[in-house]
C-alpha cells in the first residue's frame, strides 16, 4: 500500500471515530465532550489542511456552543433542527463507512444548508454561532502555524475578523525569537537523551 493511500485510510478512520463520538455526545447533549472532540479534529486539520476536515471542526465546535446555550432550546424549531443535525451526522458516518467520500461531503453540505431552512430567531442565532465558530477555529489554525491569510481563506472569514480575534486572545503575541538560557537547553537535551 502506498504512503498516500495509507494516510487517507488513517484520516478516514480518525474522522469516522470522531464523528461517532460526536453523535454519542450529541445524544447525551454533552457539549464539553463535543468541544474537546472539535479540538482533536482541529489538531488533525492543522496537519493535513483538508477543507472537509476543517469544515467538520467548525460544525462540531458550533454544535458544542449551541448545546451549551439554553436560549436556543426555547426557539420554535429547535428540536426538529437538533434531531435533523444528529441525522446528518449519522448519514455522514454511514457514507464514510461505505467509502463514499462524495456522499460524505454531500451530507456535510446538507448539514450546513439545513440552517438556511430555519426561520426567525433560531436561524439568526445559529448563523451567529457558526460565524463565531469559523473565526474561533481560524484563530486556532493560525495558532498551529498556518498563515493568517491561508487560514482566513480556508474558513471564509476576513483577515480583519481573524486578526481582530487573534489580537483579543493574544494568539499572535508569541515571540518565537525567545529561547531558553543555554544551561537550561543543555539540561533539557541531557534529559531527552538520558545523558
- Express each pLDDT in 30-66 by its tens digit: 888 988 888 787 766 666 567 677 778 888 888 888 8
pLDDT tens digit string along 151-161? 777 777 777 77
pLDDT for 174 beyond 50: no
List C-alpha distances in Å: 16 to 72, 76, 92, 102.
Answer: 28, 32, 9, 15
Specify the pTM.
Answer: 0.69
Minimum mean pLDDT among 22-31, 68-77, 145-154: which range? 145-154
| pLDDT at res. 92 | 92
Q: 17-21, 155-159, 160-164 — which one is most confidently predicted on average?
A: 17-21
Q: Which candidate, 54, 163, 74, 85, places its Cα nearest to that of 125?
A: 74
Domain of residue 174: give its range: 3-192
pLDDT for 173 beyond 60: no
| pLDDT at res. 118 | 76
Number of folded domains that form the chain:
1
pLDDT for 124 beyond 70: yes
The whole-angstrom separation of Cα 103 and Cα 52 is 12
The whole-angstrom separation of Cα 70 and Cα 147 is 35
pLDDT for 82 beyond 60: yes
pLDDT tens digit string along 125-144? 888 888 888 888 777 777 77
Q: What percent of the chain shows pLDDT beyond 90?
A: 9
Q: What percent of the chain shows pLDDT beyond 70?
A: 80
pLDDT for 168 beyond 80: no
DSSP summary character for residue 85: H
Q: Are 110 and 90 in contact (CB under 8 A)?
A: no
Instruction: Read off the C-alpha cell for 117.
Output: 431552512
Amino acid at each position: 500500500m502506498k504512503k498516500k493511500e495509507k494516510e487517507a485510510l488513517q484520516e478516514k478512520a480518525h474522522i469516522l471515530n470522531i464523528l461517532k463520538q460526536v453523535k454519542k455526545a450529541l445524544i447525551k447533549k454533552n457539549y464539553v465532550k463535543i468541544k474537546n472532540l472539535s479540538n482533536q479534529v482541529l489538531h488533525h486539520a492543522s496537519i493535513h489542511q483538508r477543507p472537509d476536515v476543517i469544515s467538520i471542526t467548525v460544525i462540531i465546535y458550533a454544535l458544542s456552543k449551541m448545546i451549551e446555550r439554553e436560549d436556543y432550546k426555547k426557539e420554535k424549531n429547535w428540536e426538529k433542527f437538533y434531531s435533523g443535525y444528529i441525522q446528518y451526522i449519522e448519514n455522514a458516518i454511514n457514507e464514510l463507512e461505505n467509502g463514499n467520500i462524495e456522499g460524505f461531503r454531500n451530507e456535510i453540505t446538507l448539514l450546513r444548508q439545513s440552517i438556511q431552512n430555519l426561520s426567525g430567531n433560531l436561524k439568526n442565532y445559529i448563523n451567529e454561532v457558526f460565524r463565531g465558530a469559523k473565526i474561533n477555529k481560524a484563530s486556532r489554525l493560525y495558532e498551529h502555524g498556518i498563515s493568517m491569510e491561508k487560514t482566513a481563506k480556508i474558513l471564509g472569514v476576513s483577515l480583519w475578523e481573524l486578526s481582530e480575534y487573534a489580537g483579543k486572545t493574544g494568539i499572535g503575541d508569541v515571540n518565537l525569537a525567545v529561547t531558553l538560557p543555554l544551561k537550561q537547553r543543555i539540561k533539557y537535551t541531557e534529559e531527552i537523551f538520558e545523558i
